[in-house]
Structure 1
Amino acid sequence: MPEGPSLVILRELAEPFAGKTIAHASGNSKTIHLDELDGQPLLGVASWGKHFLLRLADRSLRIHFLLFGSYRINERKDAIPRLQLTFDDGDELNFYACSVKEIGEDLDAEYDWRGDVMNDAWDAALARKKLRAQPGMLVCDALLEQDIFAGVGNIIKNEVLFRIRVHPLSTIGALPAPKLRALVEEARQYSFDFLKWKKEFTLKAHWLAHAKKTCPRCHVPLHKAYLGKTQRRSFFCPLCQKQYGGNDGLSSPDNTHHEETA
C-alpha cells in the first residue's frame, strides 16, 4: 500500500494536468458516473494521507490504492484500468486496482489538512492531543491511525519506532512526555526522509529495521511480529526498543501472532 510520501510524488507528477479538460473517462469502476466526467476541466490535484484527489467543478474524485493499486501517466498497463482519464491534448491518467469514489468539490470541507504529516498545515500539537485521548492504544496502532497520522504506513511505523527506541507494544499513556513528542516529530520527519530517498531510488538502502534481520545498534536478531489490531508486520529490537506499559513480552490483548526473529 503506497504511503503518504508516494502520494506526494504522484501529486507532483500530476500537477501539470491541472487546467486540462477531460475528453473521455472510461474504466471498470462502478462507483462513479463516468459519463458525467467528459468535458469537465480538472481544476487541481491534491493528496491527503494515502488519498489522491482530483478536483473538478462539481465534485472531486478520491483514489485510494489499497494493497495493490498502481497508476500510469501517459502509458498503459496490460490490464483494464479502474479509471482512465483522457484529456483534450491526448495526455492520460490511468489508475489500476484501486478504489475510486466521488466526494464533494470543496476539499477543505472534506479533509482536515492538519492531520496530514506531509502537509504544510500539519499540527503536531493536535496529534499529541488526539494521542493523549487514547492512552490504552498501542503505539504500533497509533502510528497507523490515519485520523492522527494521515499518510503513515507500515514502513514509516517500523522505522519511527526504531529511531525513537520504543517497543511497538508500548501504550500511548505509558510513554514519557519526551517519547510522545518524539513519536509525533519523527512521524513527520521520517516521512520527508522517505520522500527524499524515494525520489533518489534509495529508500530500501536506508531501512534500519523494516524487513531487516539484525539490529544495526545492538547486532542481535530483530524480532518480527504481527502486532496490534491491524496485525501488520513489526520489526523491532528486543534490547534497544523499550516497552512502556502494555503486557510483558510479545503477548497482546489482540491475539497477536509473533515470530522470534526476522
Structure 2
Amino acid sequence: MPEGPSLRKFHQLVAPFVGQLVVKVGGNSKKMDPNMLEMLRLQDSQVHGKNLYLNFGLGKDLEPPNSLQLPKHLQKEVNLPKKTNNHKFESTSRLGGQEVPSSSSDIKASELGEKEKDSVNEPWWLNTPINSEPWLCFHFGLFGSVRANELSRATKANKRGDWKDPSPRLVLHFEKGFLAFYNCQMYWCLGPVVKPTSDILSEQFDRRQALEALKQANPVCYTLLDQRYFSGLGNIIKNEVLYLARIHPLSLGSCLTSLNLESLLDHVVSFSVGWLQKKLEGKPQHYLIYQKEQCPAGHQIMKDSFGPPNGFQRLTWWCPNCQLKVVSEEPNEVQITQE
C-alpha cells in the first residue's frame, strides 16, 4: 500500500480544494453512500502515517485557508513550488463544540468504537454529537491513489484482454475541479486519534521513542513496520533502509549497538524525505534492493517472508554479504553470522 511519502503527495493534491463546496459526487463505493457528501464543504485535510483525513462541514461562510501541502519543517528540506504558503501542520478539530488537538498515525476500522462502525452506512449527522465536524478517513490498498482533475487510465490489458480503465471508489466534484480516489477503504470518524510523534515525516517525530522501540529484543524488520512507532513506514522503506544501514532484517535490536540504531533511524528519515522529494518533482524512486536480484555491490540477494508469530508476514529482500546478522547466544556475547 502507499507509504508515508505517497500520502504526503496525495495531501498536496487535496489541499487546493480545501474551502470548496462538494457540488456533485460519484464512485462505486459499497460501504458508504457518496451522496451524503453532496453540498458539504471540505474544511480541512490532514495526513497521518498511511491515512488521509478529510473534514467536512456545513459552514456557509468558510474562507479557503492558506493551505500548505507539507509540514513546515519539510518545506525546508523539500523544494516546493514558490506559491505555497506557510501553514501549521497540526491543526485542531472541534468535537462537541470543544477544540481538540489532532494527532497522527494509522488507525484501522476494527479499532473504531461501535458508534463509528455503525455510522459507516449512515449520514454522519445521525450519529455524531451536536456541533461536531465529521472526518472521512481514507486507508489505501496496495495500489491506492488520489488524482486531481484527471481519471486513472488503463496502462495494460486485464486478464480478459480488455483495456478497461480503473473505477474510482469515490469522486468529489467541487466548484473548481474534482478529486478521484482509487482502491481505498473509507470510514467516518471524529478525527485523527493517534499521535504525530510516531509519524516518520512529522516535525514531532519522536526519535527517542523510536530508538527505545528498536532496542527491544525483536527482529528490527518487525519493529520498523510497527505503526505505533514508525507510522507511514512500509515494506519498501523497511527493505531499503535496512540495506543502507547494513543491518540484517532478523537482527535483534537488543544486539545492535547504539551507533547501528542511530544510523538506521537516520536512514529512515533521510530516505523518506528523499523519496518525497522525488515524488514532488515527478521523478521515479530507484530502489537499491527492493524486488532486486542483485545488490549494488553485485551480490546475490535473498528473499523470504518475515513477520511476528501469528502476525502478518511481509516479503523481505536482503544481501547476505552486505547485511550480516547479529545474534546473541549469551547475555553478554554478541556474534556475527553470515546467511
Match of 1:168 in 2: 249
Matched, 1:240 2:328: no
Partners of 2:243 and 2:266 in 1: how far apart? Answer: 14
Whichever residue aligns with residue 228 of structure 1, its letter is G
- Corresponding residue SS for 1:129: helix
Match of 2:127 in 1: none
Q: Which residue of 2 aligns with 1:71?
A: 146
Aligned to 1:86: 173
Q: Any idea what SS the aligned residue of 1:197 has?
A: helix
The answer (yes or no) to whether the contact 1:158–1:209 under 8 Å persists in 2 is yes
Read off the aligned partner of 1:11 and give its amino acid letter. H
TM-score normalised according to structure 1 size: 0.84
CA distance in 2, matches of 1:234, 1:184: 18
Give the letter aligned to residue 240 of structure 2. E
Higher-Rg structure is: 2
Q: Which runs of 4+ in 1 moved over 6 A?
A: 246-250
Asked whether the equivalents of residues 70 and 95 of structure 1 are also in contact (C-alpha less than 8 Å), the reply is yes
User: CA contact under 8 A between 2:224 and 2:238: conserved in structure 1?
Assistant: yes
The answer to whether the Cα contact below 8 Å between 2:147 and 2:181 also exists between their aligned partners in 1 is yes
Distance verdict in 2 for CA 1:212–1:223, change over 3 Å: same
Asked if 1:103 is matched to 2:228, the reply is no
Q: Distance in 1 between matches of 2:31 and 2:203?
A: 31
Q: How far apart, in 2, do the equivalents of 1:197 and 1:150 lie?
A: 20
Query: 1:1-262 alignment to 2 at 5 Å?
Result: 1-57=1-57, 58-77=133-152, 78-89=165-176, 91-105=177-191, 107=192, 110-132=193-215, 135-205=216-286, 207-217=287-297, 219-229=298-308, 230-245=312-327
Normalising to structure 2: TM-score of the pair?
0.66
1:42 alignment partner, SS class: strand
Identical-pair percentage? 35
Within 2, Cα distance between the matches of 1:88 and 1:246? 62
Q: Is the 8 A contact 2:51 2:139 kept in 1?
A: yes
In the alignment, residue 184 of structure 2 is paired with which amino acid? C
Secondary structure of the 2:324 match is coil
Q: Deviations over 1:59-101 (max 9, x none)?
A: 1111111113233211224343211111133x11111221111
The count of aligned residue pairs is 242
Q: CA deviation at 1:9?
A: 1.0
Residue 47 of structure 1 aligns to a residue in which SS? Answer: strand
In structure 2, how many angstroms separate the alpha carbons of the residues matched to 1:246 and 1:18?
Answer: 53
Q: Give the Cα–Cα distance (whole angstroms) in 2 for the partners of residues 79 and 246 of structure 1.
A: 50
Residue identity matched to 1:212: K
**Which protein, 1 or 2, shows the higher relative CO under an 8 Å CA cutoff with sep ≥ 6?**
2
User: Aligned-pair distance for 1:33?
Assistant: 4.7
In 2, the alpha carbon distance for the partners of 1:84 and 1:9 equals 18
Matched-pair contact (CA < 8 Å) for 2:275–2:285? no
SS in 2 for 1:98: strand
Which amino acid counterpart does residue 71 of structure 1 have in structure 2? Answer: V
- How far the C-alpha of 1:51 sits from its partner, in A, is 0.9
Instruction: Give the AA of the match of 1:64.
Output: H
Flag structure 2 segments of 5+ consecutive residues without an equivalent. 58-132, 153-164, 330-336
Matches of 1:79 and 1:160, distance apart in 2: 32
Structure 1: which 5+ residue stretches go unaligned? 251-262
